[in-house]
Structure 1
Amino acid sequence: MADHLLDHVRPYLERSLEDRIAYIRAPRWVGHHGAMQALERLNELLCRSPSLRTRGLMLVGPYANGKTMIAERFAVAHLNACESQRVWVVQTREGAGLAHFYASILRALRAPMGNSRDVGRKAEQVDHLLDGLKPRILIFDEFHNALRGRSRDVDAVLAFLRRIGRQFDISPVLIGEVAVYDFINATDEMASRFELLGVPRWRYDEEFFALLDSLEGALPLARRSDLSDEKLAREIFRLSEGLIGEIVAIVAAARSGAERITLLSIDELDYVPVSRRRRLRDGLL
């Protein structure tokens, strides 16, 4: 009796090993408290009254901690529920300067761009599209990429965020590393326009144990793994460094032939934590 599994997961035990492995390795939504709070706040932005000075949101935290998945979950739910698209996700391009920033928006809005590097022309095209599409929320993922240019370009990007609220009634949502918070809070004027929602690393506590229990219930393995037991939980926490993306990756990869996750199967992964990966990369450069 697979009573450790969620009801909708149990039928997967009857499928082939290949199907179950594919299911285990597939990206999955983890509806923990912080994620649900962020979705609720995003929905409030979507349902707000019109304003000439719209407020936005900063979703800030370390890499591999679920920020992008929250944004994508919200955007997809909106598309499924509404006839017209009012939420657009912009993948902010790497590379300094306004040309890259505007190109990110044009790509997200599925507009032809050509090879022009005329910033003024791109700005006009963006304005024309925003006026026609009338988005309610623009989500800028990896927004820290837009903050690496010359100070005048960064100032222009921040001015753009202010202007789209006044001119198009758009709430900007900025997703990225802690640098986003530092830039936005450099002036009182910008700080007053954005609410902060932090996505911190997980701590080794009861919430972390509950997360492991929920992951165990979501993976179609025939035997109970008891992931929240002390030894297993400690090792998963050590390797993941408290990042939810790493936690899920470790658990999904550590399936053993015994239809359960064990300390040995985790050790056999030879998993390298994020901080060590960075040091290894720096040593190769």
Structure 2
Amino acid sequence: MQDAAYLHIHEKFRPNVILPDRERIAFIDQPRWIGYSKANQLLNLMQGLLNRTKQHRMPNLLVVGESNNGKTTVIKQFVKKFGQSYIEDDIRWVVPVISIQAPPSPNEKELYISILENLALPYKGSGSTAMLRYQMIHAFKECQVKLLIIDEIHSFLTGTARQQRQIMNCLKFLCNELEIPLVIAGTKDAVRILHTDPQHASRFDVAELSTWNNDGEFKRMVGSFERFLPLKEPSNLTDTTKINLIHNISEGRIGNVKRLLSECAIDAIKSGTEHISEQAIKDKSWLRPTQGIRKVIG
């Protein structure tokens, strides 16, 4: 392969262009980190919390944003980069970061079970809430956990106001007892859970991953996607007409951008066109949600 023939692709990914079609499609479908300024700022904020000196009242962070706009991806990247477990002194299992998805309801016992399952520790589901709480706190201390992350925190809004206060008081107790910071993430509605008690709101900073404007940063982000798509011909996705189409169909959400371009790239491989045309993007307009629902047909 002559690398000069694929200058539209980052040199790291050029070898993928000559793979069989099936392998190129599999490569496109793989999860992939695209760094951008807001995501990097959020990673830095979370790293700062991870490195804070223990104290009774630790700072906490709420990350909010529209659905499919990168919150969970940033969390996974943070855990991959800073939260990998390791063995210390050949005997102690250290887990710097615990990251879980919030239980479907604001239930204290379900929260502890989710955490213990994340740690792959045995537990008695029939045990009391107090027993599970003690086991979880003991495990955190033994594993030297420095940061707890709970994604999809808006799930707690399914409960009553009383249940929401109880689960937030539980989280406050854990942070005080363990002297570790907490990062929670969810949709914009998640802010409401902080207002169940003025004390909760005072403990959290709020970081928003807003939808993208159709500007230079969005253009650079789309260009970054093209740099790893294993297509033999350049697609020139940063062309003004294509950028406008991509922004309109994706509604400025990075998850929608990824799916749109992945679908178009897979079609380009299957059809043999080997590039993403303006018409190909238009043909994927069904990816645009209609009242929150994607209409594949009709």
Tell me the distance in 2 between the aligned counterparts of 1:190 and 1:178: 16
**What amino acid is aligned across from residue 156 of structure 1 in structure 2?**
Q
Which residue of 1 is the match for residue 284 of structure 2?
269
Which residue of 2 is the match for residue 31 of structure 1?
35
Tell me the distance in 1 between the aligned counterparts of 2:163 and 2:127: 14
SS in 1 for 2:121: coil
Tell me the distance in 2 between the aligned counterparts of 1:275 and 1:114: 45
Gaps of 5+ in 2: 88-93
Which residue of 2 is the match for residue 201 of structure 1?
211
Higher mean alpha-carbon deviation, 143-152 vs 44-53, is at: 143-152
Q: Deviations over 1:144-201 (max 9, x none)?
A: 1123213222112111222222211111100111122222145442222111111111
RMSD: 2.2
Which residue of 2 is the match for residue 229 of structure 1?
239
**What amino acid is aligned across from residue 219 of structure 1 in structure 2?**
L
Q: Is the 8 A contact 1:140 1:174 kept in 2?
A: yes
Equivalent of 1:153, from 142, 163, 168?
A: 163
Equivalent of 1:162, from 155, 172, 193?
A: 172
Equivalent of 1:140, from 144, 150, 155?
A: 150
Q: Is the 8 A contact 1:201 1:242 kept in 2?
A: yes
Q: Is the 8 A contact 2:165 2:196 kept in 1?
A: no
Equivalent of 2:259, from 249, 260, 277?
A: 249
Gaps of 5+ in 1: none
Equivalent of 2:18, from 6, 14, 21?
A: 14
Residue 129 to residue 265, structure 1, CA distance change in 2 (3 Å)? same
Q: How many positions carry a matched residue from both structures?
A: 281
Tell me the distance in 1 between the aligned counterparts of 2:99 and 2:182: 10
Q: Is the 8 A contact 2:212 2:218 kept in 1?
A: yes
Q: Is the 8 A contact 1:134 1:168 kept in 2?
A: no
Which residue of 2 is the match for residue 63 of structure 1?
67
Tell me the distance in 1 between the aligned counterparts of 2:95 and 2:9: 36
Tell me the distance in 2 between the aligned counterparts of 1:215 and 1:280: 25
**What amino acid is aligned across from residue 18 of structure 1 in structure 2?**
R
Percentage of identical aligned residues: 27
Residue 274 to residue 112, structure 1, CA distance change in 2 (3 Å)? farther
TM-score when normalising by structure 2: 0.87
Tell me the distance in 1 between the aligned counterparts of 2:252 and 2:186: 17
Equivalent of 2:110, from 100, 122, 127?
A: 100
**What amino acid is aligned across from residue 89 of structure 1 in structure 2?**
S
Q: Is the 8 A contact 2:260 2:287 kept in 1?
A: no
Tell me the distance in 2 between the aligned counterparts of 1:265 and 1:115: 51
Tell me the distance in 2 between the aligned counterparts of 1:45 and 1:167: 17
Deviation at 1:130, TM superposition (A): 2.4
Tell me the distance in 1 between the aligned counterparts of 2:100 and 2:291: 30
Q: Is the 8 A contact 2:106 2:167 kept in 1?
A: no
